[in-house]
Amino acid sequence: MNLGKVVFGFFVLLALTLNFGFFIGDIDNPDHHNVYELFAALVVGLIATVMKLGERSQIGAVLLASSLVVDLHLIAAAVIWVVAVHVTEVGLTPAVMASIVSLSGGALLANLLSVVLLTMETSSINR
């Protein structure tokens, strides 16, 4: 068993599950979406992206691209959260929360694509 591949798979799956945990709930209810969960999803997503940088295969390029999409979505969601709460003091209105959760949903789809591609790559290697 390759420990590097285990750690890589762990971070890819953890990024997916953390993002899913943040995403689930009423889209416009701030009580259903924890800022620390968004932060954790962002940090783990960034770690997964760094781990994908050394890959030179075509599937590795697609995995890196999907990870960059995840990072972009989650960074945008975090920026909207910070601006709404600390800069403009608008607060977490239902419209702001819906925007944040929608961006997280886009990241969730890209995370799901990463897991599917990783599963396909793993199953093709074993044959």
Tokens of 56: 């030179």
Q: What is the per-residue burial (b if ≥16 Cβ within 10 Å, else e) of 30-49? A: beebeeebbebbbebbbbbb
| Number of structural domains found in the chain | 1
Q: Which domain holds residue 109?
A: 3-125
Please compute the mean of the pLDDT values over residues 47-52 and round it to a whole number: 92
The pLDDT of residue 13: 95
Residue 127: pLDDT over 60: no
Of 64, 102, 62, residue with least CA distance to 80:
102
Please compute the mean of the pLDDT values over residues 70-92 and round it to a whole number: 95
Rounded to 5°, the CA angle 74-84-34 comes to 55
Please compute the mean of the pLDDT values over residues 75-98 and round it to a whole number: 95
Q: Collapse the DSSP code of 87 into the 3-class scheme (helix H, G, I; strand E, B; otherwise coil) and give the result.
A: helix
Q: Using a pLDDT cut of 90, give the percent of the chain over it.
A: 75
The pLDDT of residue 33: 95
Please compute the mean of the pLDDT values over residues 112-125 and round it to a whole number: 88
pLDDT tier for residue 78 given thresholds of 50, 70 and 90: very high
